[in-house]
Amino acid sequence: MAGYSGRPLVEKLGLKAAQRLALVGAPGGFARELEPLPAGVRLGAGRGPLDCVLLFAPDAATLTGGFPRWAARLTSAGMLWVAWPKKAAKIATDLDENVVRRIGLAAGLVDVKVCAVTEVWSGLKFVRRLRDR
């Protein structure tokens, strides 16, 4: 589904064919926002490495607890998107882009892109530094 930017969310997230994707803490029905998925994309955490994790974090405690766990599941070139409530959504949160970035950097990843995931959720993409791949 295309957001206000006119680009489909799967394109903004950088999902490619045959990747393995985990949605963590996603709001009910969110998976429909990703349709249609690229060919062969497997949705679900299961076991083994993941190409992409989209982690929804309503607060810093959730993010601090979940980030290292999901970062450890990434393939060497994998990406971890963190989604947090936008200020305009009027949802109580202690997260903003700077807090999300600090938590991600402290876990050893680097942020490379920001996007609007939905009208309610902002997103920041983290990857491993090239020297760490």
pLDDT over threshold 60, residue 52: yes
Q: Is residue 93 part of a domain?
A: yes
pTM reported for the whole predicted model:
0.94
Q: Is residue 1 part of a domain?
A: no
- Domain span at residue 34 reads 9-132
Of residues 4 and 16, more confidence is placed in 16
Residue 59 three-state SS:
coil
Q: 82 falls in which pLDDT band (50, 70, 90)?
A: very high
For range 99-117, the mean pLDDT: 97
Angle 90-109-72 from CA coordinates, rounded to 5°:
100
**How many domains does the chain fold into?**
1
For residue 42, the domain's CATH number is: 3.40.50.150
Residue 24 to residue 85: CA distance in whole angstroms: 15
Q: Is residue 78 part of a domain?
A: yes
Q: Is residue 48 part of a domain?
A: yes
Angle 35-82-112 from CA coordinates, rounded to 5°:
100
Q: What is the pLDDT of residues 58-76, one digit of tens each?
A: 999 999 999 999 999 999 9
> In 3D, which of 22, 91, 88, 92 has the Cα closest to residue 55?
22
Q: Is residue 44 part of a domain?
A: yes
Beta strands at 74-85 and 50-56: parallel, antiparallel or unpaired: parallel
Q: 132 falls in which pLDDT band (50, 70, 90)?
A: confident
Q: Is residue 3 part of a domain?
A: no
Which pLDDT does position 5 carry in this prediction? 64
Q: Is residue 21 part of a domain?
A: yes
Q: Is residue 68 part of a domain?
A: yes
